[in-house]
Amino acid sequence: MGSIIRVDRLTKHFRDIKAVEDLSFSVEEGQVYGFLGQNGAGKSTTIRMLLTLIQPTSGSIDIFGMNLQRHRKEILRQVGAIIERPDLYKYLTALENLRIFATMSGIKISEKKLMDQLAMVGLEQRANSKVKTYSQGMKQRLGIATALVHDPKLIILDEPTNGLDPQGIADIRNLILMLSSERNKTLLISSHLLSEIELIADSMLIIDKGKKLVEGRVNDLFDPAETVVELKTTNDEATFEKLSGSGFQEFVQERRNDCVLLKLHRNRIPEVLKELVRMEVNVISLHSKHSLEDYFLSLTTGQPHVEAPKN
């Protein structure tokens, strides 16, 4: 598989604001690629540059092996995108919306094909309902259908689950996975939710303040050996000292105000619990998470982190 997107040293400045700074990454054909960062990290600015809505200050973008500036029209004919919430005609039906977007894309498409598009996003039963009667999740799915009406090779979705309830998030997640596995689409998905990207992406990139921090395949980044355990007890200071003097000394990281942090393979957590029982430690709670999650939360909350994962 070759690269569908190749970004090299992409930079965008708005006067004194460095929105994107020296950003490089590539998206391989057939991937679901997670583009992760807190609000204001530079995700939407990067996506707008990928869609030629704004021009880079410097750097280059190649899509489908072609330079975006020189082959803009040819490239964008093969790209479907939604930036934030989709723009829909609320007083028209879903079918009428699709018909309009097909016309705007310059393609002729049969009524059956339009209904197939609605069936793909689970809206065939509401094809003739006006969009103003739709939930936000249904509007989001219809927006994705409009982005797919010209059968693009590459789909770019900016925060597609933003503002949705749990069922709406699950619907969009399943739709993304279906587009990848059954329709062989390449997708770039931006989000500020690490937990969502972990569930859908093959590879991911984390940016902060416009700069790349972490990039790699999800399976590698979420190595079970990098599990962080937050342990709360009735006496954290004493627990920290006991564990530091035990056979689990190498896993003890630090003591925070309200917990003791350990870092170890998740399969060893039961051993830690047995040791705590043997030492007669009163455990209030034990919460495990991947170190990448702790690292990402440190970016979004400003709290300290255990150790930055290696690129």
Q: Which residues, in sequence order, are CB contacts of 155 under 8 Å at separation 6+?
A: 79, 80, 81, 144, 147, 148, 179, 185, 186, 187, 188
pLDDT at 310: 41
> Which of 14, 95, 86, 85 is CA-nearest to residue 55?
14
Q: What is the pLDDT of residues 232-274, one digit of tens each?
A: 999 988 999 999 989 888 888 888 778 888 888 888 889 999 9
Percentage of the chain beyond pLDDT 90 is 57
pTM, entire model: 0.79
Is residue 288 pLDDT above 60, yes or no? Answer: yes
Give 93's DSSP letter. B
What's the CATH fold of domain 224-301?
A: Alpha-Beta Plaits (3.30.70)
Contact between 216 and 204 under an 8 Å Cβ cutoff? The reply is: yes
pLDDT digits (tens, 9 = 90+) for 62-81: 999 999 999 999 999 999 99
- In this prediction, residue 158 carries a pLDDT of 93
**Distance between terminal CA atoms of the chain?**
22
Kindly give, in sequence order, each residue whose CB lies less than 8 Å from that of residue 253, ignoring residues fewer than 6 positions away. 228, 261, 262, 263, 306, 307
Please state, in angstroms and rounded to a whole number, the distance separating the CA atoms of residues 217 and 227. 17
Average of pLDDT values for 222-233?
Answer: 82
Query: Which tokens in the block code for residue 115?
Result: 């209904």
CATH code of the domain occupying 3-218: 3.40.50.300
Return phi, psi of residue 56, to 5°: -65, 155
Distance CA 40, CA 45 (A): 9
Range from 50-54, 193-197, 234-238 that averages highest in pLDDT: 50-54
Two tokens, residue 218: 């999800």
pLDDT of residue 295: 65
Residue 141 CB-density burial (10 A; 0-12 exposed, 13-18 middle, 19+ buried): buried
DSSP 290: E
87 pLDDT band, cuts 50/70/90, is confident
Mean pLDDT over the full length of the chain: 88
d(CA 278, CA 92): 68
Rounded-to-integer distance, Cα 62 and Cα 142, Å: 29
State how far Cα 215 lies from the chain centre.
12
For 190, what's the count of Cα atoms within 13 Å in the CB-facing half-sphere?
24
pLDDT score recorded for residue 254: 85
CA-based radius of gyration for the chain: 23
Q: Which has more pLDDT, 84 or 65?
A: 65
CB 81 within 8 A of CB 87: no
Mean pLDDT of 171-182: 92
d(CA 303, CA 108) in angstroms, rounded, equals 54
pLDDT number for residue 304 = 42
The predicted model gives 162-167 an average pLDDT of 87
Domain boundaries, the chain: 3-218, 224-301
The whole-angstrom separation of Cα 168 and Cα 121 is: 12
